Structure 1
Amino acid sequence: MAPSWPDRLARVVAALAAAAAALACGGPGTARPPSPPPPSLPAGYTAYDGGKLGFRFGLAPGWQRVGEVAADGVSFADPSGQGTLLVHVEQARSADLDAATGVVMFELTDGGGVPHASMADSRLAGRPASWVKGDFTAAGPAQRIEAIVMLEGGRAWVLALAGPAASLATDEAAFDAMRASFQLRSAPVLPPAPAEVALDRPAPGFAELDRIKGPVVLNFFASWCGPCREEMPLLAQRAKAAGGRFTVLGMDTQDDTSKVPDFLKGLGVGFPTGYDRDGHLYQAYLLPGVPGTFFLDAHHVVRDLVYGPLTADTLQRGLHAAGAA
Structure 2
Amino acid sequence: MRSLVGLVLVGVIALAILSMKTQWEDNIGKTGELIPAAHAKAAPNFTLPEMATGRMVDLQTEARKQPIVFSFWATWCGPCREELPKLQTLSEKYRGRVQFYGVNSDDSLPDAKKFLAKNNLTFPMLLDDQHAAHNGYGVESIPMLFVIDTSGKVRAITEGYSVEASERLPKVLDALLAEK
TM range (shorter): 0.5 to 0.7
8 Å contact 2:46–2:132 — kept in the other structure? Answer: no
Corresponding position of 1:216: 68
Superposed CA offset, 1:134-156 (max 9, x none): xxxxxxxxxxxxxxxxxxxxxxx
Corresponding position of 2:40: 200
Aligned pairs for 1:131-150 within 5 A: none
8 Å contact 1:248–1:272 — kept in the other structure? Answer: yes
Aligned pairs for 1:35-50 within 5 A: none
Kindly indicate whether residue 101 of structure 2 is the aligned counterpart of residue 256 of structure 1.
no
The separation in 2 between residues aligned to 1:237 and 1:319, in whole angstroms, is: 14
Higher relative contact order (CA 8 A, sep 6+): 2
8 Å contact 2:72–2:143 — kept in the other structure? Answer: yes
The separation in 1 between residues aligned to 2:134 and 2:78, in whole angstroms, is: 18
| Matched residue SS, 1:250 | strand
Q: Which amino acid counterpart does residue 295 of structure 1 have in structure 2?
A: V
Corresponding position of 1:280: 132
Corresponding position of 1:316: 170
Following superposition, the deviation at residue 211 of structure 1 comes to: 4.3
The separation in 1 between residues aligned to 2:120 and 2:138, in whole angstroms, is: 28
Following superposition, the deviation at residue 287 of structure 1 comes to: 0.5
Aligned pairs for 1:118-137 within 5 A: none
8 Å contact 1:303–1:321 — kept in the other structure? Answer: no
Following superposition, the deviation at residue 321 of structure 1 comes to: 5.4
Q: Which amino acid counterpart does residue 217 of structure 1 have in structure 2?
A: V
The separation in 2 between residues aligned to 1:292 and 1:321, in whole angstroms, is: 20
The separation in 2 between residues aligned to 1:283 and 1:96, in whole angstroms, is: 17
Corresponding position of 2:84: 232
Corresponding position of 2:50: none
Corresponding position of 1:294: 146
| Matched residue SS, 2:114 | helix
Superposed CA offset, 1:90-129 (max 9, x none): 85713575429xxxxxxxxxxxxxxxxxxxxxxxxxxxxx
8 Å contact 2:28–2:158 — kept in the other structure? Answer: no
Q: TM-score scaled to structure 2, two decimals?
A: 0.68
Q: Which structure has more strand as a fraction of its residues?
A: 1
The separation in 2 between residues aligned to 1:95 and 1:246, in whole angstroms, is: 21
The separation in 2 between residues aligned to 1:270 and 1:211, in whole angstroms, is: 21
The separation in 1 between residues aligned to 2:84 and 2:111, in whole angstroms, is: 15
Q: Which amino acid counterpart does residue 168 of structure 2 have in structure 1?
A: T
Q: How many residues align?
A: 143
The separation in 2 between residues aligned to 1:236 and 1:274, in whole angstroms, is: 15
Q: TM-score scaled to structure 1, two decimals?
A: 0.39
Following superposition, the deviation at residue 310 of structure 1 comes to: 5.1
Kindly indicate whether residue 25 of structure 2 is the aligned counterpart of residue 93 of structure 1.
yes
Corresponding position of 1:245: 97
8 Å contact 1:239–1:248 — kept in the other structure? Answer: yes
Cα separation, partners in 2 of 1:282 and 1:300, compared to 1, 3 Å: same
8 Å contact 2:80–2:161 — kept in the other structure? Answer: yes
8 Å contact 2:79–2:143 — kept in the other structure? Answer: yes
| Matched residue SS, 1:268 | coil
Following superposition, the deviation at residue 218 of structure 1 comes to: 1.2
Q: Which structure has more helix as a fraction of its residues?
A: 2
- Between structure 1 and structure 2, the one with the greater Rg is 1
| Matched residue SS, 2:84 | helix
Q: Which amino acid counterpart does residue 26 of structure 2 have in structure 1?
A: S
Query: 5+ unaligned residues in a row in structure 1: which ranges?
Result: 1-22, 28-89, 101-198
8 Å contact 1:214–1:245 — kept in the other structure? Answer: yes
Superposed CA offset, 1:218-249 (max 9, x none): 11111111111111110000101113110101
